[in-house]
Amino acid sequence: MLLPYLSSQCQTGLYQAWLSEPFILHENAENGLTRKEVFLAAEQFRKLLFDKSHNSNFSLLLLYQQRHHFLIALLAIAMQKGRVVLPPNLADKTLSNLKVDMPDLIVLSNDLPDSLEGQNQIQSIEIDKIIQGVKHSNIEINDQWLSDTLESIQDSEIWLYTSGSTGLPKKVIKTWRNMMGSAELAIERFTLMKPCYMVTTVPSQHMFGLETSIFWPLFSRASIWFNKPMFPEEVVHALNANNEQPSFLVSTPLHIKNLVSSSAEWPNNLTRLLSATAPLTKELAVQTECVMNVSVFEVYGSTETASIASRQTTQTDVWQSYSGVEFTKTQDGDVLVKTKGLDSFQALNDQIEHLDEIRFRLGKRSTDLVKVAGKRASLSEINAHLQAISGIVEGVFIQCKTSERLAVFVVSKLPKSAILAELRKSIDPTFLPRSIFYIPRLPRNELGKVLYSDLFEMLPR
C-alpha cells in the first residue's frame, strides 16, 4: 500500500512515481490523469461542493459512471466532510425512499431521474472544467498537504447497500479508513504494487467495483481505464489502451459468459481475470482461460466485509484468505470475520469449512436453506433441478412470506403440469411449488443478480 508517509522513509522515488505516473487512461490521451491531478481536481471540486451545500452534514448521491468523475467527486466529498450515498439500483422506488430519508440530497449525475426531480444536481461537466484548469496550471502538491488530507478523510462515510438479491437492500456504512484497510490486503494479494493496468466492467457504486476500480488502483501502482466497458469490442478496446503493462480484467460471471462467447481477439498482455458477485462455475473458468489465455481468479467477499479471499477456480475449490484475516464462530454456529478493513467482527452469510488458518471451503448460505413441513432443502439445489429442465429458459424457487410453502417463477412455454412432472423426478414432493408464475424475464440488477425483492412484490397479496 503506497501512502504519502513513504516519502519520509527513503522511498521518495517510489512516492513521486505514484503521484506522477499515468493513472487514469482516457480515450483521448490528453485527458488522461495522474494521481496528482486527481487530488488537485478533487480539492477544486470540494470548493464547489462547499458553495452548493447548506449544512455541514450533507449527503450526495454519486451516480457518475466514468471512473475519473466518480473518484474526483468521491475524494472531494470526503474532503468536505460530506456523506457519499451509493444506491443499490436506480429504481424509482429506491430513489424516492432515499429522497424521503435525505430531503437535501445533492445528486451528482448527468441525467436527473424523474423520482429525484427538484433535487440539487451537479453534472460531470463541472469536473471536466476543473480538470482542464488543473492541466493548464503549474500547481504542485505539498507532501504535508496530501498526508494531512488523507488523514482528515479517514472517518468520512460511504453508504453502500446490499444488492437486495435475497431480500430488501440493507445499508452498509464504510469509512475511508475501512476501504483503505481492505485495499491494502488486496493490493498485497494481487501484487498491485508492481505497475499494471486494470479494466473493470463492474459499476463503482457496487462494493466489488468500488474496490477494484477506485481504492485498489488509487493506493497502488495500478492504472485504470476511465470508462466502464460493456460489449466485447469495448472491453478489448479498453485493454488495448495500455500494451506496455500486464493487464487485469475485472468482471462478473454473467458478463464473462457473454465475453467468452464472442469472437473478440483478446490482447496478449491480458494476464489475469478477476470475478466476483456470484459463483463462477469451473466449466466457465476453464473456457475463459482457454479463450482469453488468462489465469482466472474468483474474489470472495460481501458488501459488509469487502473482499477477504481469492482462489484460482480452475485449480482448486479452496479459498485462501487475505493476510491477517481472522475467523471465529458464535455459539449458534454463525461465522464471524475480522480484517484490517473492519472495525469489529462481522457476520458472514456463508458457512465455512476451515482447512487451516488461511484456507477454507464455502458451505451453504444461511439464506439458502428453506424449511417446509419440518423438512429442509437447499434453494440453490432445487433451483438447479428446475433450471435443468429442458424448456426452462430460467427460473427460481421462492418461499412465500405468508406461509412456508414454495412458489416458482419461470421463463418458459412449458405447461405447469409438465414442470411439476419433471420436478417430481428430482426433488422431494414436500418442496414442489404450490404456485408457478410465468414472467418474460427474471428481474436482475446490472451485476446479473436475481432481485428476489422484486419477485416478492409480484406474489399475490
Kindly report the three-state secondary structure assignment for every residue of 28-82.
CHHHCEEHHHHHHHHHHHHHHHHHHCCCCCCEEEECCCCHHHHHHHHHHHHHCCC
Which pLDDT value is given to residue 54?
Answer: 62
pLDDT at 5: 41
What pLDDT shows up at residue 125?
A: 97
Distance separating alpha carbons of residues 121 and 119, to the nearest angstrom:
6
Distance CA 204, CA 216 (A): 12
Cα–Cα nearest to 234, from 243, 245, 225, 222: 225
Lowest mean pLDDT among 186-190, 217-221, 259-263, 450-454: 450-454
Same fold, 1-153 and 175-365: yes
Residue labelled with grid coordinates 464471524? 336
The grid cell for 209 is 467495483
435-445: pLDDT as tens digits:
999 999 998 88
SS3 at position 170 = coil
Mind listing the pLDDT tens digit for each residue in 356-383? 989 999 876 666 778 787 777 888 889 8
In the prediction, which pLDDT does 364 show?
67
Domain boundaries, the chain: 1-153, 175-365, 373-458
pLDDT value, residue 321: 97
Cα 156 from Cα 178, distance rounded (Å): 10
Q: Which fold has domain 1-153?
A: Rossmann fold (3.40.50)
Is 80 exceeded by the pLDDT of residue 57? no
Pairing of strands 222-225, 22-25: parallel
Task: Give the per-residue pLDDT at 363.
Answer: 78
Instruction: State pLDDT tens for residues 97-150.
Output: 898 888 889 999 999 988 998 899 999 999 999 999 999 998 888 888 999 999
Kindly report, residue by residue over 77-99, the tens digit of the pLDDT: 999 999 999 998 888 888 988 98
pLDDT for the residue 6: 46
The whole-number average pLDDT for the span 385-394 is 91
Query: Which homologous superfamily is 175-365 in?
Result: ANL, N-terminal domain (3.40.50.12780)
For residue 43, the model assigns a pLDDT of: 96
pLDDT at 56: 66
For residues 160 and 86, give the distance between their C-alpha atoms in angstroms, rounded to a whole number: 5
> Hunting for cell 445499508 — which residue is that?
171
**Better pLDDT: 76 or 369:** 76
Whether the CB-CB separation of 248 and 273 falls below 8 Å is answered with: yes
Residue 386: is it exposed, middle or buried by C-beta count within 10 angstroms (0-12/13-18/19+)? Answer: buried
What residue type is 244 in one-letter code? E
Indicate the DSSP class of residue 189: H
8 A C-beta contact, residue 273 and residue 259: no
- Helices and strands of the chain, counted as H and E runs: 15, 25
- Can you tell me which residue has the cell 463541472? 126
Q: List the Cα angle 51/55/58 in 5-degree steps.
A: 90
Nearest to 74 by CA among 132, 160, 142: 160
Share of the chain above pLDDT 90, in %: 67
Instruction: In whole angstroms, give the CA distance from residue 396 to residue 175.
Output: 36
Range from 191-195, 211-215, 330-334 carrying the lowest mean pLDDT: 330-334
- Name the β-bridge partners of 33: 24
pLDDT band of 402, cuts 50, 70, 90: confident
Confidence (pLDDT) at 17: 84
- Residue pair 358/321 in contact (Cβ under 8 Å)? The answer is yes
Q: Indicate the residue type of 247.
A: S
Dihedral angle over CA of 184, 22, 211, 160, nearest 10: 130
Nearest CA to 42 out of 143, 120, 155, 153 is that of 153
| CA dihedral over 352, 354, 358, 361, signed as positive or negative | negative
Pick from 84, 24, 85, 78: nearest CA to 46: 78
Mind giving me the DSSP string for 395-429?
EEEEE-SSSS-EEEEEEE-S-HHHHHHHHHTTS-G
Mean pLDDT of 231-241: 97
Report the topology of domain 373-458: GMP Synthetase; Chain A, domain 3 (3.30.300)
Q: Are 422 and 389 in contact (CB under 8 A)?
A: yes
Q: What is the pLDDT of residues 18-41, one digit of tens each?
A: 999 999 999 999 999 999 999 999
Instruction: Pull the grid cell for residue 361.
Output: 471451503
